[in-house]
Chain A
């Protein structure tokens, strides 16, 4: 059995979690919003270096504005977490730091990556001041639509998880 790592993608609804996965796994994008319910699970083999690869099991979770409500079973045995917010909708990042705290409590001792998605919808300068004003330190600023930083983000996480074992 190949070395596999489970990651969960969390965040409010409509932030583009499914689209990020779609871009990463199938390199495609749809403007049409389809609400995810429950969980969709996909697998992608990620080359982390010339001789090594990881089977990334990506759990695309139903978005929720109450992080506390995430079903514990989904988080069981996860190796990494990606928390996504939508840079164009303040309601998805207004409580980001307290949301992250809850996530960290629910998934202790695993790497957590913070992603601001939909950067194609905002002006670069405004984005930086927006993050600063809200005291947000995002690890990646992505666009599932243009593909900006999507592969880098997933590959980085896969590498990180591979190195941890």
Chain B
């Protein structure tokens, strides 16, 4: 035997078996390379695969190849290709042992299929979670809307109740009722915000606003809030931060007040501080860091990740009021602003929450002294004549009434009438000659925008053309545009700057 034949014998012949069977499947000859077949026995008794031989007898084909056929038994793996060839009055079976090749192919197929199935399951799981989340948010949104109606009734009735003859004890109870109403309304607002953020329905309304004024307002609010407590409020902002920036004033306000309210909630004594740092200014972009620090109970490191989750409150035993939505809203809003809220804390020492946000900085406005005129004293000498002006103040909130009444009287320029019910306004306007009307929008019975429409539709010019300034907390751009469209001459948002209001009055009376 030549060397080549020896190798062939060793490497090829050992993995190929030849079998000859008759047309009934009886084994005529076999070289017994790896399957032992009894001469004269039926081949299909060895393995059910071999019944296939009969299929080829019915076929027009002369030969047929079956790939990757498992002929092994129990633990012995034997994976083969089998070729069945028609001969004159018998069949030739050529069996190739390709176990090694197919085993490695199986491993590849295993990895491939597993990975496809797993990624499919991940996608399905995500879809299911998203669906659940969508359902949850839709439910919360509907539910909080539904709750708003009865709550509005409760608030109205409480207000009516307050005006009846009450003794001291009853007064206290009504005050408590009012406070609970306010808390419930704020809670509903929070729940609505969080579900709107989660469902992607909340969008930022960016426009140019005065950042310094916003900070002043916050400083004023929190200095008042902490007065008489063991907490001192501190405000520190970089002198170089731009006065006017483009952003969502309302949402920035919400983020900062939520952080500060959270700080107050978890600080018994010491300081809470709001810090605004200018990171950098480039072209018309400015990067600012807003930071709220407190000396409160702090957050244990293991709880650090969960503080931004909805409905989470750290200290569950000494649970503070609220649903734990404040920080979750902060997180969502800061993300909408393209940033990320971060927290650092030492248990028992206090916490620090901060985020960096890049905003467009309004250069053309910053260079103009617009922002300052508002806070400067308004030149009231511009008002012509030497008479006093008649002002109708339409406002149902007692505190606002008081503030407006007092400050307008202090100018010594105005006579002031006050109406606190929407239904009374029109009659009062017709029976008096007012120079200007300061109109709240959310009023009992008839709303301020409806009254404005009625006045503007009145046939006589002296009534029809009375200047009206909307003074309202409905500060969304859409609302303001709408108020101007229906005929208000100006809109001053609440909480208002008195000089700004006076400026608007002077401008319209001139």
**Minimal beta-carbon separation of A10 from chain B (angstroms):** 16
Q: Assess whether B48 is in contact with A74, with CB atoms less than 8 Å apart.
A: no
Most chain A CB atoms below 10 A, which of B56, B113, B116: B113
Interface residues on A, range: 20 to 34
CB distance from B112 to the nearest CB of A (A): 8
Chain A contacts with B in 68-107, Cβ cutoff 8 A: 71, 73-74, 76-77, 89-91
Contact B113 A35 (CB under 8 A): yes
Pick from B29-37, B63-71, B221-229, B462-470 the stretch touching chain A.
Answer: B63-71
Q: Contact check: which of A4, A37, A77 meets B105 at CB < 8 Å?
A: A37
Inter-chain contact B70/A33, CB cutoff 8 Å: no
Question: Residue on A with the closest CB to B79?
Answer: A38
- Complex: A14 Cα to B64 Cα, angstroms: 28
CA distance A35 to B117 in the complex (A): 12
B49 in contact with A41 (CB, 8 Å): yes
Nearest opposing residue in chain B for A40, CB measure: B70
A57 at the B interface (CB under 8 A):
yes
Q: Does B47 contact A (CB under 8 A)?
A: yes
Which B-chain residue is minimally distant from A65 (CB atoms)?
A: B116
For window 110-127 of chain B, which residues contact chain A by CB distance below 8 Å? 110, 113-114, 116-117, 120-121, 124
A52 to B68, CA, bound (A): 33
- Chain B residue contacts of A4, Cβ below 8 A: 51
Q: Contact at B47–A41, with CB atoms within 8 Å? A: yes
Chain B residues, CB < 8 A from A91: 120
A63 and B112 CA atoms in complex are apart in Å by: 12
For A76, the closest partner residue in chain B by CB is B55
Complex alpha-carbon distance, A76 and B428, angstroms: 98
Q: Is the CB of A38 within 8 A of B48?
A: no
Measured CA separation A39–B81 after assembly (Å): 11
Chain A residues, Cβ within 8 Å of B113:
13-14, 33, 35, 63
Q: Which residue of B lies closest to A77 (CB)?
A: B55
B109 close to chain A: CB less than 8 A: yes
Q: A33-B114, A34-B110, A89-B120 are in contact. Are A39 and B68 (CB under 8 A)?
A: yes
Q: Which of B51, B66, B67 contacts A6 (CB 8 A)?
A: B51
Question: B51-63 CB contact bits vs A (8 Å, 1 = yes)?
Answer: 1101110110000
Interface residues, chain A, with chain B CB atoms under 8 Å away: 1, 4, 6, 13-14, 33-35, 37-43, 57, 62-63, 71, 73-74, 76-77, 89-91
Starting from the known contacts A4-B51, A76-B64, A91-B120, 9 additional A-B residue pairs (CB-CB under 8 Å) come to A14-B113, A33-B117, A34-B110, A38-B68, A40-B70, A62-B68, A76-B55, A76-B56, A89-B120
